[in-house]
Amino acid sequence: MGKQILTMKNISKGFPGVKALDNVDFTVYENEVMALLGENGAGKSTLMKILSGVYTKDQGEISLNGEAIEVVSPKDATEKGIAIIHQELNLIPYLTVYENIFLGREIKNSLGSLDKKKMIEETKEVLDRLKVNINPKSQVNSLSIAQQQMVEIAKALSLNAKIIIMDEPTDTLTDQEVKSLFEIIHELKKQGKGLVYISHRLKEVFEVCDRLTVLRDGQFIGEKMVSEVDEGEIIRLMVGRTLDEQFPYIKTDYSEEVLQVENLSNEYIKNLSFSLRKGEILGVSGLVGAGRTELAKTLYGYYKKDTGKIILNGEEINFNSPREALDKGIVYVSEDRKYDGLILGMDITSNITISSLEKFKTAIGLNKKEEKKVAEEYRDKINIKTPSLYQRVENLSGGNQQKVAIAKSLLTDPQVLILDEPTRGVDVGAKREIYDLLNEIKKQGRSIIMISSEMPEILGMSDRILVIHEGQLKGNLNREEANQEKIMSHIMKREEN
């Protein structure tokens, strides 16, 4: 039984219109990893923002090593030994590793100038403690995401953090990198740290966490030992109901082909050929960086094609911009809602209609009433949870943001939807809703190209699966014959030549 380092008791926090946290308890134990679980919008980030001094709580107590504390600012949190490693890393790309680690607390020599030697030495020492091999003098933007994460962890260590919070740390890592991260987590446990692990990937929770705390709709649902629960139980705690089927695949009986791609090549992809049938989901699998997103954006007119043909409904097409693709019935939903998927500072209605404003044009300008009506329709149809359609999209949870993005694409009345990582950063309950939505789209006779890094999702939802590696097509599998091993072996197979 671990010793409690940090306890948060009866924490409440309200925002305009919502009670984000309602009497939540949370404990971090020495030498242990505590998983913090819950759907998007359950209050995980709010709780962690309170702990790291970004938000102030409305009520409740926090105590550190038995002593009551108030965390008034992120700086204060750092000084009290609470470090948070965000999903989006907070390093300065053009500075070196050691400059980042000592940013704001640079060591100076007696003359007042920087003592680089000492900083480099100390950086090396921390990195050694983590057993990672990174040169302290490397510029951060030359490191992989995984390495950058290690640098963040090293920074936390060098700040002598007692509690390290990791928010979705594996989202952008490869399997190998995840493995080494887990080794580091074990190392940190041994050194007596208390860790908080936030993830949507339940598999990882079983692998690396000792206990878990579940939140739902801002409420504390329970704290359990990981060894005493199974996946079904966790999901039940998170969503408050059992999910009978994770992947509700359906078969449609259309047969005609909508889209043919022949020998498509450009800077990113080489000689890709495949076809897409009406009413099917074509899964696109491959490692990160395999050229999947680039393929999608080439079909969408964002990247130019050099050679090859794209044939839509028997007609060869050449798009010079996404607008032209949209007008022909191809739409792309980005993998990165924040970067290029949505306009976060704009309201929900305007985001839904932005691709289809032509529909709302009248002689005296845009018909805003009609826009509102359409937005309401989509809100009800695909269950976008929000107090108001004039809410800014940035205030929505990941799942609801994704629904807005899909609503935007559906409003263009597309024949072909290219969905890039449609459930990334989306919680279990909303995931299921998105899958149901995909089925709905299939039934309407529209076709979906679904790019995903989540193997179970690809296998569970696709009618056919393309395997892409280094811009080339490595395999084209039917639903029946596909499995994880086959896909991986297609990726690896021709690696040698």
Nearer to another protein, 100 or 395 (CB): 395
To the nearest whole angstrom, how small is the minimum distance from the Cβ of residue 319 to another protein? 11
To the nearest whole angstrom, how small is the minimum distance from the Cβ of residue 401 to another protein? 12
Q: Select the residue interacting with another protein from 108, 117, 201, 361 (CB under 8 A).
A: 361
DSSP state of 350: H
Decide: is 303 part of the binding site for another protein (CB under 8 A). Answer: no
Q: Which residues pair with 478 in a beta bridge?
A: 464
- Interface positions, 450-469, toward another protein (CB under 8 A): none
Decide: is 391 part of the binding site for another protein (CB under 8 A). Answer: yes
To the nearest whole angstrom, how small is the minimum distance from the Cβ of residue 369 to another protein? 12
To the nearest whole angstrom, how small is the minimum distance from the Cβ of residue 307 to another protein? 24
Decide: is 298 part of the binding site for another protein (CB under 8 A). Answer: no
Q: Are strands 4-15 and 18-29 parallel, antiparallel or unpaired?
A: antiparallel
Decide: is 365 part of the binding site for another protein (CB under 8 A). Answer: yes
To the nearest whole angstrom, how small is the minimum distance from the Cβ of residue 425 to another protein? 16
| Contact between residue 410 and residue 352 where contact means Cβ atoms under 8 Å apart | no
Only one of the segments 67-75, 107-115, 220-228, 345-353 lies at the binding site for another protein (rule: CB under 8 A); that segment is 345-353
Decide: is 300 part of the binding site for another protein (CB under 8 A). Answer: yes
Nearer to another protein, 118 or 392 (CB): 392
Only one of the segments 148-156, 181-189, 361-369, 436-444 lies at the binding site for another protein (rule: CB under 8 A); that segment is 361-369
Exposed/middle/buried for residue 350 (C-beta within 10 Å: 0-12, 13-18, 19+):
buried
Decide: is 354 part of the binding site for another protein (CB under 8 A). Answer: yes
Helix (H, G, I), strand (E, B) or coil at 167: strand
Exposed/middle/buried for residue 400 (C-beta within 10 Å: 0-12, 13-18, 19+):
buried
Nearer to another protein, 218 or 279 (CB): 218
Q: Select the residue interacting with another protein from 346, 377, 445, 494 (CB under 8 A).
A: 346
Residues 200 and 209: their CA atoms lie apart, in Å, by: 13
Decide: is 316 part of the binding site for another protein (CB under 8 A). Answer: no
Nearer to another protein, 206 or 302 (CB): 302
Q: Which residues pair with 464 in a beta bridge?
A: 282, 478
**Order of strands across the sheet with 281-285?**
330-333, 416-420, 447-451, 281-285, 464-469, 472-478
**Tokens standing for residue 231:** 């996946």
Q: Select the residue interacting with another protein from 82, 163, 326, 459 (CB under 8 A).
A: 326
Only one of the segments 174-182, 316-324, 437-445, 451-459 lies at the binding site for another protein (rule: CB under 8 A); that segment is 316-324
Amino acid found at 320: N
Cα distances (Å, whole numbers) of residue 299 to 164, 273, 279, 407? 43, 12, 18, 20
Decide: is 317 part of the binding site for another protein (CB under 8 A). Answer: no
Only one of the segments 126-134, 150-158, 382-390, 476-484 lies at the binding site for another protein (rule: CB under 8 A); that segment is 382-390
| Percent helix, percent strand, percent coil in the chain, to nearest 5 | 35, 25, 35
Q: Which of 194, 212, 193 is nearest to 202 (CA)?
A: 212
Residues 32 and 193: their CA atoms lie apart, in Å, by: 7
Decide: is 355 part of the binding site for another protein (CB under 8 A). Answer: yes
Decide: is 332 part of the binding site for another protein (CB under 8 A). Answer: yes
Decide: is 357 part of the binding site for another protein (CB under 8 A). Answer: yes
Q: Select the residue interacting with another protein from 79, 358, 370, 377 (CB under 8 A).
A: 358
Helix (H, G, I), strand (E, B) or coil at 160: coil
What does the DSSP assignment read for 187-247?
A: HHHHTT-EEEEE-S-HHHHHHH-SEEEEEETTEEEEEEEGGG--HHHHHHHHHSS--S-S-
Residues 350 and 391: their CA atoms lie apart, in Å, by: 10
Q: Select the residue interacting with another protein from 1, 111, 363, 364 (CB under 8 A).
A: 364
Can you give the C-alpha Rg of the chain in angstroms? Answer: 24
- Interface positions, 407-436, toward another protein (CB under 8 A): 408, 412
Q: Which of 317, 399, 358, 404 is nearest to 41 (CA)?
A: 399
Nearer to another protein, 332 or 435 (CB): 332
Decide: is 370 part of the binding site for another protein (CB under 8 A). Answer: no
Q: Select the residue interacting with another protein from 107, 178, 343, 488 (CB under 8 A).
A: 343
- Interface positions, 12-41, toward another protein (CB under 8 A): 16-17
Q: Which residues bind another protein (CB under 8 A)?
A: 16-17, 300, 302, 321-323, 326-327, 332, 334, 339-346, 350, 354-355, 357-358, 360-361, 364-366, 368, 387-388, 390-391, 395, 408, 412
